[in-house]
Amino acid sequence: MTGIPLWPSSPSPRVVARAALIGLAVVVVIGLIIAAGSALTPFIFGLALTYLLMPLVNWLDKWMPRWAAILLVYAAGLLILAALLIFLVPPLVNQTIRLVANVARPDALEQLVADVVDWYHVNVPPEFQSPLEQMVQSSLPAIQENLSRIAAAAGAFLLSQVRQVFSLLSFLVGFLIVPIWLFYVLHDARKARIFINRQLDYRLRPDFWNVWGIVDRSLSAYIRGQLTLGLIVGVAVGIMLAAVDLIPGINVDYILPLALWAGIAELVPMIGAMLGAIPAVIVTIFVGGPVSALVVLAVFTVVQLVENNYLVPRVIGESVGVHPAILIIVLVVFGKLFGLLGVILAAPVTAAARDLYLYAYRRLSGKSPSEAIAHLPHFREQPEAKPSAGPPATAPVASASANASAARDNPTS
């Protein structure tokens, strides 16, 4: 067997006691997390912000004290937030309220049918109208009977969803402890790494940091990539919808809420683009008619093509590497078990579970930590990162021999 064995031979009672204590602590922490439930929702958002801000803080840390780098990032974030509150939020709220009010009108779908019929008589050739009219006439009574019920249900659903979103946003804004928690996480990341190294036997450090690196890489790369894609798609959809609205004969309204929804829907892998396009097309049918809806559909199609062929390979790349057929099944399962959060995190969790299984299998087969990590997809053997890098790390620690020799030279580290 090459390299460091999976478990230290003849572990001392001190090592066994320390391992048992760590295991007990992990069990207690997991139990507390499960018991806390939705109360930890703000900290999940805080964790996502940590992955976004950590690279920037580490970069600024080269030229200024770390606390100053964090405060500078906070100041820039507050300026961006203030600009959004002043220039974006008021029209967004106004358009969202108008959208919900218009969709909830009982006569909205009836007016839509009338507009579609008028368009049909003007644009469809007469020789095609007779068979189509016979088909429509046979189903029209049932459609008219349920129009008011469908409109009321759709309006109530949209209104409840909007209320939930604004309620969540208010909760996050009011929960001021998260920025304070985030400051300490960003500031003391390197200290956490040093502390963990002191608690671990030097023979276990390579495996610990390799496992940490596998999970961290899957989550950090995916979260940063999806948030970046969501921002780009939301801005692109907003700009393109505003541009096509200037075309004579094309009427697109509620541009800000539709663009915001397109960006949020992008967080859902595989089907996010479709989730973003469907409401936009339906709303535009109400506002501008079938032709405007087709133009909006074309806008989303162009954005999707650019995203798939240019943005995704460069922003996310092969950070997940899960086959689409498997990912769709995982999305359904995670959505059923964990709701919307499960759908969003299904891809990185699946990728991390796959790589952890492969790593453990190779370690149990006699591979050293460096050999086990080197054969994983997307990982290369690297020297141990300096403590200043701190968690969240961007790559696993793969050099077991370097860890072992360093620890023997300094057993108290």
> For residue 354, how far is the Cα from the chain centroid?
19
Q: Which among 248, 252, 250, 262 has a CA at the least distance from the CA of 301?
A: 262
Q: Which residues span the domain enclosing 105?
A: 41-409
The residue to which tokens 């469809």 are assigned: 124
Reported as a pLDDT band with limits 50, 70 and 90, residue 388 is very low
Residue 173 burial by CB count (10 A; 0-12/13-18/19+): exposed, middle or buried? Answer: exposed
Whether residue 384 has pLDDT greater than 60: no
Please give the average per-residue pLDDT across 363-386, as a whole number: 69
Rounded to whole angstroms, the Cα distance separating 406 from 413 reads 9
pLDDT at residue 4 is higher than 70: no
Per-residue confidence (pLDDT) for residue 238, from 0 to 100: 93
Q: What distance lies between CA 315 and its chain's CA centroid?
A: 13
Domain contains 111: yes
Q: Residue 76 — very low, low, confident or very high, per pLDDT cuts 50/70/90?
A: very high
> By mean pLDDT, which of 4-8, 10-14, 196-200, 391-395 is the weakest?
391-395
Token code pair at residue 11: 């572990």
Tokens matching residue 251: 């009427």
Mean pLDDT over residues 65-92, rounded?
A: 88
CB atoms within 10 A of CB 209: 27
In a domain, 22, yes or no: no
Please state which of the ranges 32-36, 179-183, 199-203, 392-396 shows the lowest mean pLDDT. 392-396
pLDDT of residue 103: 63
Q: How far apart are CA 373 and CA 214, in angstroms?
A: 9
pLDDT (mean) for 215-237? 87
**Lookup: tokens for 392:** 């969240």
Overall average pLDDT of the 196-207 stretch: 83
Q: Is the pLDDT of residue 9 over 70?
A: no
In a domain, 3, yes or no: no
Residue 286 lies inside a defined structural domain of this protein: yes
The predicted-structure confidence for 21-32, as pLDDT tens digits, reads as follows: 878 888 888 888
How many structural domains comprise the chain?
A: 1
Least confident interval from 262-266, 367-371, 392-396: 392-396
Split at pLDDT 50, 70, 90, the class of 412 is very low
Three-state SS string over the chain comes to CCCCCCCCCCCCHHHHHHHHHHHHHHHHHHHHHHHHHHHHHHHHHHHHHHHHHHHHHHHHCCCCCHHHHHHHHHHHHHHHHHHHHHHHHHHHHHHHHHHHHHHCCCCHHHHHHHHHHHHHHHHCCHHHHHHHHHHHHHHHHHHHHHHHHHHHHHHHHHHHHHHHHHHHHHHHHHCCHHHHHHHHHHHCHHHHHHHHHHHCCCCCHHHHHHHHHHHHHHHHHHHHHHHHHHHHHHHHHHHHHHHHHCCCCCCCCCHHHHHHHHHHHCCCCCCHHHHHHHHHHHHHHHHHCHHHHHHHHHHHHHHHHHHHHHHHHHHCCCCCCCCHHHHHHHHHHHHHHHHHHHHHHHHHHHHHHHHHHHHHHHHHCCCCHHHHHHCCCCCCCCCCCCHHHCCCCCCCCCCHHHHHHHHHHCCCC
Q: Which residue has better confidence, 390 or 340?
A: 340
pLDDT at 190 over 70: yes
- pLDDT score of 235 more than 90: yes
In sequence order, the 6+-apart residues with CB closer than 8 A to the CB of 31 are: none
Distance CA 128, CA 66 (A): 72
Residue 283 lies in a domain: yes
pLDDT over 70 percentage in the chain: 68
Average pLDDT over residues 241-258: 90
Residue 287 within any structural domain of the chain: yes
Least confident of 5-19, 64-78, 372-386: 372-386
Q: What single letter denotes the amino acid at residue 79?
A: L
Could you report the per-residue pLDDT of 100-135, keeping only the tens digit for each? Answer: 776 656 565 566 666 666 766 666 666 666 666 666
In a domain, 267, yes or no: yes
Angle between helices 272-288 and 108-123 (to 10 degrees): 80
pLDDT at 381 over 60: no
Structure tokens at 152: 């009321």
- For the chain, give the mean pLDDT: 76
Please check the confidence at residue 387 and state whether its pLDDT lies above 60.
no
- pLDDT tens, 145-189? 665 565 556 556 565 655 566 555 555 554 677 888 888 888 888
- Whether residue 239 is predicted with pLDDT greater than 90 in this model: the reply is yes
Does 337 fall in a domain?
yes
411 token code pair: 């057993």
Confidence of residue 389 (pLDDT cuts 50, 70, 90): very low
Which whole number is the average pLDDT over 227-231? Answer: 88
Q: What is the pLDDT of residue 71?
A: 93
What is the longest distance spanned by two Cα atoms in the chain? 91
